[in-house]
Amino acid sequence: MDKKQSNGNVVKFNRWGYIFLIPFFVVYVIFSLIPLVTTIYNSFFENYRSGLKQIGPNFVGIANYFKLLGTPEIWKYLGNTLIMWIGGFIPQIVVALLLAYWFSDPSLRLKGQRFFKTVIYMPNLIMASAFAMLFFALFSASGPVNQILTSIGVFAEPYKFFDHIASARMLIMFMNFLMWFGNTTILLMAGMLGIDTALYEAAEVDGATATQIFFKITMPILRPIFIYVLITSLIGGLQMYDVPQIMTNGAGTPVDSTTTVIMLLNRHLTSKNVGMGGALSVFLFFVTGILSLVVFRINSRSEN
Amino acid sequence: MNNDISMKTHGLPVGVRRAIAYIVLIFFSFLCLIWFYILLINSTRSHQEMTLGFTLLPSTHLLDNWTSLVNGTIPIANGFLNSIIVSGCTAVLCTYFSAMTAYAINTYRFKGRTAIATFILAIMMIPGQVTALGFLQLINKMGMDDSIVPLIIPAIASPVTYFYLKQYMESNLPLSLVEAARIDGSGEFRTFNTIIFPLIKPAISVQMIFAFVGSWNNYFTPALILHTDTKKTLPVLIAQLRGADWLRFDMGQIYIMIAASIFPVIVIYLILSKYIVGGVSAGAVKG
């Protein structure tokens, strides 16, 4: 009798679980799920402005998707995004691995670790739009970087960083690198500190070199966190927007070489090209969805 | 490249390896800080001084630049106020309701609990941009276009904050405490507000900072929603500087505006860096 009553109480209490979930789900459904559904719905309609004339909405099936994936535009911008992501990610992961390895190496006993970690993480918290604006001012033809470079004789006259494909892209890559390498270092370090030191000691006793230890012990154990960093960075990279948008004033100059996929989405959104914007959103939803599945697997594995 | 470095350092005495580590660390710290140093210096210099060349030492025009910015065409005071309101409200709503969601999943054993937890985990990485189109249409229908409200309310459903707080509760919140509160006759809501919430304060404050900074820096959505100059947040106003014929602009004003929008975050960060850097690694997956 007693037992039954307490069971009943627990069940009664457990109903509170639903009540506490209400705010999250109400807001999620209204501001994320319904927009997702209407975005998908819109992608099946021809609906845009041509000058002052409004075309549609007319149902066109999957014609928008054919148009989106059949024109070279999207592939070019996807290529731009990936190039600028890779260019930032490779130095980022190399430097982060190296720094994390040093930070967590007990034989080095580096001093001032907190200072260094604080400094290298800082760019991650900087407003990307202000940071982009800052770089635009610093690297402009009359900016301080050109003033310094011409005064020490590197260039005879100011170098126009934003007029050349390579230098414009490299600046964006460099900013992505600066903003994210500290974050990656801290993530990798958390993984490295979790490795049992007995493993290293045993390897050293067996006469393994530092290189062997790194590639045969550290790297395999770090694999899950490494994949996590890679995929989350790729998802973040596909969302690249603030830096190129502000640096190039939305134009993706020179010759659309720095236009990213989200900048294209933004163009569709501001020009009210609802159909194509919808198709592009759904395309991005599937790409990031597939990538998130990998992260989801890693997260749910760490849950158990 | 990494291979090369470890090959080179292998066999070297610890002292040399340590020296290399310090040199590389100092180099990257320099690379992180130099831009903000130039920004700080240039904020104190007048437009004329800047056209003459770069100097390592600050000048005396910090206040002049500031007054000309405040009296200029950009509604900077409004921008600050809007940014503070949006970020502050976002931080509070996001952490409070994420804690509530995490508490529900962590404490109660109801039907569908695992399914709901899995669902939130699955939607965690979906970026907001992919629903922006539908979101904008919805905002228009609700009459909330050109308002800061739609920048704040959606923060109630923040899967990432929820995930971090749930991880924290799992390892730091004994369920016996909830039982004890029940025996003492405390209602579920009161238990959450007066006992649980204060207990998870360390995690809440870290997440509050992240939510605040994330919202402070957000550009994509505010740029699409806010149209009236006096309603815009700082990132949108900064983008506007770039949009203007910026060569004709007073560079002193540009630098001080960038500085003013960056430095509040830097100051908060430097005061709380211990917790923030700790929070980053705590949120990582346990490999």
Q: Does B266 touch chain A (CB under 8 A)?
A: yes
How many angstroms separate the CA atoms of A167 and A135, rounded?
13
Other Cβ atoms closer than 10 A to A114: 11
Please write the tens of the pLDDT for every residue from A202-240. Answer: 888 888 887 788 888 888 888 888 888 898 899 999 999
Contacts of A97 in chain B (CB under 8 A): 2
Average pLDDT, chain B: 88
Nearest by CB to A127, from B31, B110, B261: name it. Answer: B261
pLDDT > 50? residue B6: no
CA distances to B64, B77, B253 from B71, rounded to whole Å, are 11, 10, 11
CA–CA separation, B32 vs A119, rounded Å?
Answer: 7
A260 pLDDT above the threshold of 80: yes
Give me the pLDDT at residue A116, please.
94
CB A108 within 8 Å of CB B21: yes
| CATH superfamily of domain region A63-303 | MetI-like (1.10.3720.10)
Residue B136 identity: L
| CA dist A263 → A60, A242, A243, A281, B23 (Å) | 25, 9, 10, 12, 39
Cβ within 8 Å, pair A281-B286: no
Residue A174 token pair: 């460099």
**CB–CB contact B127 A235 (8 Å):** yes
Q: Which tokens go with B176?
A: 């016996």
For residue A40, the one-letter residue type is I
Q: How far is CA B189 from the centre of its chain?
A: 29
Contact (CB, 8 A) for A239 and B129: yes
Give the separation between CA A12 and CA B108, rounded to whole angstroms: 10
Instruction: Check residue B124 and give its pLDDT.
Output: 86
Looking at residue B4, its pLDDT comes to 43
Cβ distance B33 to A128 less than 8 Å, yes or no, reads no
**In the structure, what pLDDT confidence band is assigned to residue B243 with cuts at 50, 70 and 90?**
confident
pLDDT bucket at B246, cuts 50 / 70 / 90: low
Bridge partners of residue A49, in order along the sequence? A54
> Is residue A160 packed enough to be buried (19+ CB in 10 Å), middle (13-18) or exposed (0-12)?
middle
pLDDT bin (cut points 50, 70, 90) of residue A284 is very high
Per-residue tokens: A126: 């900087």
**Which amino acid is located at B54 in the chain?**
F
Distance, CA of A221 to CA of A214 (rounded, Å): 10
**Residue A280 in tokens:** 């592009």
Name the residue type at position A208: A
**Cα A93 from Cα A100, distance rounded (Å):** 10
In terms of Cβ atoms closer than 10 Å to its own Cβ (0-12, 13-18, 19+), residue B240 is: middle
Q: Model pTM?
A: 0.90
pLDDT at B247: 66
CB B91 within 8 A of CB A270: no
Q: What is the pLDDT of residues A289-298, one digit of tens each?
A: 888 888 878 7
**Token output for B279:** 């929070």
For tokens 């430095």, the residue is B263
- Here the ipTM equals 0.89
The DSSP bridge partners found for residue A48 are: A55
CA gap A216, A223 in Å, rounded = 11
Distance CA(B87)–CA(A303), nearest Å, equals 31
Confidence at residue B5, expressed as pLDDT on a 0 to 100 scale: 43
CB neighbour list of residue B275: distance below 8 Å, 6 or more residues apart? B202, B205, B206, B209
Cis before A254? omega within 30: yes
CA-to-CA distance for A18 and B105, rounded, in angstroms? Answer: 9
How many other CB atoms are there within 10 angstroms of residue B265's CB atom? 20
CA-angle at A198, arms to A194 and A201, nearest 5°: 120
Contacts of B118 in chain A (CB under 8 A): 300
Of these ranges, A31-45, A191-205, B110-124, B193-207, the one predicted with the greatest mean pLDDT is A31-45
Question: How many other CB atoms are found less than 10 A from the CB of residue A51?
Answer: 6
Q: Kindly report the backbone phi and psi dihedral angles of residue B75, in degrees, each rounded to the nearest multiple of 5, phi listed first.
A: -75, 75
Residue A278 with chain B: CB contacts under 8 Å: 133
**Domain-wise residue ranges, chain A:** 2-59, 63-303
For A235, how many CA atoms within 13 A lie in the half-sphere containing its CB? 23
What is residue B220's DSSP assignment? H
Q: Coil, helix or strand for B57?
A: coil
Question: A43 phi and psi, to 5 degrees?
Answer: -70, -10
A37, A194, A262 member nearest B129 (Cβ): A262
B76-107 vs A16-28: helix crossing angle, rounded to 10: 140
CB B202: neighbour CB atoms within 10 A?
14
Give residue-wise pLDDT tens across range B72-90: 888 999 999 999 999 999 9
Nearest to A78 by CA among A287, A223, A254: A287
Is the backbone peptide bond immediately before A23 cis, with ω within 30 degrees of 0? Answer: no
Check whether A63 has a pLDDT greater than 60.
yes
The Cβ of residue B270 has, within 10 Å, a number of other Cβ atoms equal to: 12
> Are the CB atoms for B221 and B145 separated by under 8 Å?
no
- For residue A244 the two structure tokens come to 């190129």
Residues with Cβ < 8 Å from B119, sequence gap 6 or more? Answer: none
Q: Tell me which of A13, A14, A29, A31 to substitute to probe the interface with B (most B C-beta atoms closer than 10 Å).
A: A31
pLDDT at B287 exceeding the cut of 70:
no
Contact B100 A20 (CB under 8 A): yes
* Helix segments in B44-75, DSSP class H: 47-52, 62-70
Task: Place A26 in a pLDDT band, splitting at 50, 70 and 90.
Answer: very high
CB contact under 8 A, B262 and A21: no
With CA atoms as reference, the chain B residue closest to A136 would be: B242
Please compute the mean of the pLDDT values over residues A191-203 and round it to a whole number. Answer: 83
Using the Cβ of B22 and the Cβ atoms of chain A, whether some distance falls under 8 Å is answered with yes
Taken as a whole, chain B contains a residue count of: 287
